[in-house]
Amino acid sequence: MNSVIQKATRIIIKVGSSLVTNDGRGLDHAAIARWAAQIAALRTLGKEVVLVSSGAIAEGMLRLGFEQRPTDIHELQACAAVGQMGLAQIYETSFRAHQLGTAQVLLTHADLADRERYLNARSTLTTLLRLGVVPIINENDTVVTDEIKFGDNDTLGALVANLIEADALIILTDQQGLYSADPRKDPSAVLIQQGRAGDLALEAMAGGAGSSLGRGGMLTKILAAKRAAKSGAHTVIAYGREHDVLERLAGGEAIGTELAAQTGHLTARKQWMADHLHTAGQVVLDAGAVQKLSKEGKSLLPIGVVEVKGEFGRGAVITCVGADGAPVARGLSNYTSAETRRIMRKPSSEIEAVLGFVEGQELIHRDNLVLV
Ligand SMILES: Nc1ncnc2c1ncn2[C@@H]1O[C@H](COP(=O)(O)OP(=O)(O)O)[C@@H](O)[C@H]1O
Ligand SMILES: N[C@@H](CCC(=O)OP(=O)(O)O)C(=O)O
């Protein structure tokens, strides 16, 4: 028995190129339909699922008649753009059969390194989940060159797990999980059933990709598990064609390799905020807001802010202090310092009238706030 996926509410599922394209023979419609059915079943169990799917380049190669992966970066980008249409089409059709809508989200690593884009991506994804849609994510291959050379969606899966604080990352691939050595090269290799995300010994076992389609191999999966663990997400690496793999994992069955995170969400988030020693600015709160934040676990609304110190942009980490200057909390600001000055002391219902737009009812949402 293994309860990591059973207990998880928010799950990122990554399906690799070799799996989605059935080793290059075009998109495997039947397999995609089976995953859609399993994800629909997970949703009826109350789980929120985000899918990270590779396969655009492989499908684009097929559609454009390339027999081998092009070496020209722009041809690769063209393949990705063509193939992404096929991916979007098949996912939308497969999930519709279960009355589920899908959304296409194309991201780059740089998007997630930029605080403002990070917040926007986070809000869009959580809104899609709230609306009952299954987001289907892939790398935005049109605008990057470095990532497309190494083509690795394992890292993207981990970044998305960090972004929306998923409880678990499931990496579906063409092997049963992590073996003590590459099983394609070493027949005596044994399956590692459990490990600690971040354990260096695991990195030594993992090799590169075994096929010409998958690019990252097992090492990027192990590193993805390490990265996902930073926000408290556990990782399971499993064979994507295993019968009912997702439902069985959700039922508590031990399948594949489980790499457990050592820190919980909150600790991880606090650590992240704590790392931002140089916060960009300060907001001074009235006594009511201090009470709401520190005693009632509420978000910070603009009405509770009486003064803004320093200059900061949207998505910056700012410090909330009481009237006496004592720090109360830190968090990501939904508004710039200039905007905050205009909406402070005002009810959130007036934000739109004052600024002409609304980024959120809160200045800092409680999910983006830690008490200090
Ligand atoms: N220790 C290992 N255990 C399992 N697979 C390994 C290991 N080292 C290297 N590999 C290779 O990694 C491959 C999976 O990675 P990859 O081809 O990138 O798949 P995907 O497209 O699913 O990301 C396997 O087919 C296997 O040959
Ligand atoms: N964005 C690329 C994905 C890159 C890729 O192949 O990733 P992976 O499945 O981790 O080996 C595509 O859709 O083809």
Q: Count how many domains the chain has.
A: 2
Q: Tell me, yes or no, whether 254 and 362 share the same domain.
A: no
Task: Give the ligand at the shortest distance from the Cα of 18.
Answer: 1
Q: Tell me, yes or no, whether 265 and 282 share the same domain.
A: no
Task: Please check if 153 is assigned to a binding site.
Answer: yes
Full-prediction pTM beyond 0.90?
no
**Which pLDDT value is given to residue 365?**
92
Q: Tell me, yes or no, whether 226 and 285 share the same domain.
A: no
Q: How far is the CA of 254 from the centre of ligand 2 (A)?
A: 26
Domain boundary among 245, 269, 293: 269
Q: Tell me, yes or no, whether 90 and 179 share the same domain.
A: yes
Q: Tell me, yes or no, whether 162 and 118 share the same domain.
A: yes
Q: Can you tell me which residue has the tokens 């949703």?
A: 43
> CA end-to-end span of the chain, whole Å?
38
With a 6 Å cutoff on the Cβ, whether 216 touches ligand 2 is yes
Which candidate, 89, 91, 90, 63, places its Cα nearest to that of 75? Answer: 63
Task: Please check if 140 is assigned to a binding site.
Answer: no
Q: Tell me, yes or no, whether 248 and 119 share the same domain.
A: yes
From the CA of 53, give the closest atom in ligand 2. 13
Query: The CATH number of the domain where 135 resides is what?
Result: 3.40.1160.10
Q: Tell me, yes or no, whether 226 and 151 share the same domain.
A: yes
Q: What is the pLDDT along the chain (372 residues), one digit of tens a residue?
A: 678 999 999 999 999 988 898 766 689 999 999 999 999 999 999 999 999 999 999 999 999 999 998 999 999 999 999 999 999 999 999 999 999 999 999 999 888 877 778 889 999 999 999 999 999 999 999 998 887 776 789 999 999 999 899 999 999 999 999 999 999 889 999 999 999 999 999 998 886 655 555 556 899 999 999 999 988 999 999 999 999 999 999 999 999 999 999 988 766 666 666 666 567 899 999 999 999 999 999 999 999 999 999 999 988 889 999 999 999 999 989 999 999 999 999 999 999 999 999 999 999 998 888 888
With a 6 Å cutoff on the Cβ, whether 210 touches ligand 1 is yes
Query: The CATH number of the domain where 284 resides is what?
Result: 2.30.130.10
Domain boundary among 235, 269, 303: 269
**Which pLDDT value is given to residue 26?**
80
Domain boundary among 239, 269, 299: 269
Q: How far is the CA of 20 from the centre of ligand 2 (A)?
A: 10
**Which pLDDT value is given to residue 345?**
97
Our CA dihedral for 193, 198, 203, 208, rounded to 10 degrees, sits at 90
Q: How far is the CA of 318 from the centre of ligand 2 (A)?
A: 36
Q: How far is the CA of 214 from the centre of ligand 2 (A)?
A: 7
Q: Tell me, yes or no, whether 211 and 124 share the same domain.
A: yes
Contact status, residue 101 vs residue 95, Cβ threshold 8 Å: yes
* Residue range(s) defining the domain that contains residue 11: 4-269
Task: Give the ligand at the shortest distance from the Cα of 217.
Answer: 1
With a 6 Å cutoff on the Cβ, whether 195 touches ligand 1 is no
Task: Please check if 9 is assigned to a binding site.
Answer: no
What secondary structure does DSSP assign to 98-147, as a single string? TT--EEEEEE-HHHHHSHHHHHHHHHHHHHHHHTT-EEEEEE-GGG-SHH
Q: Tell me, yes or no, whether 84 and 52 share the same domain.
A: yes
**Which pLDDT value is given to residue 206?**
86
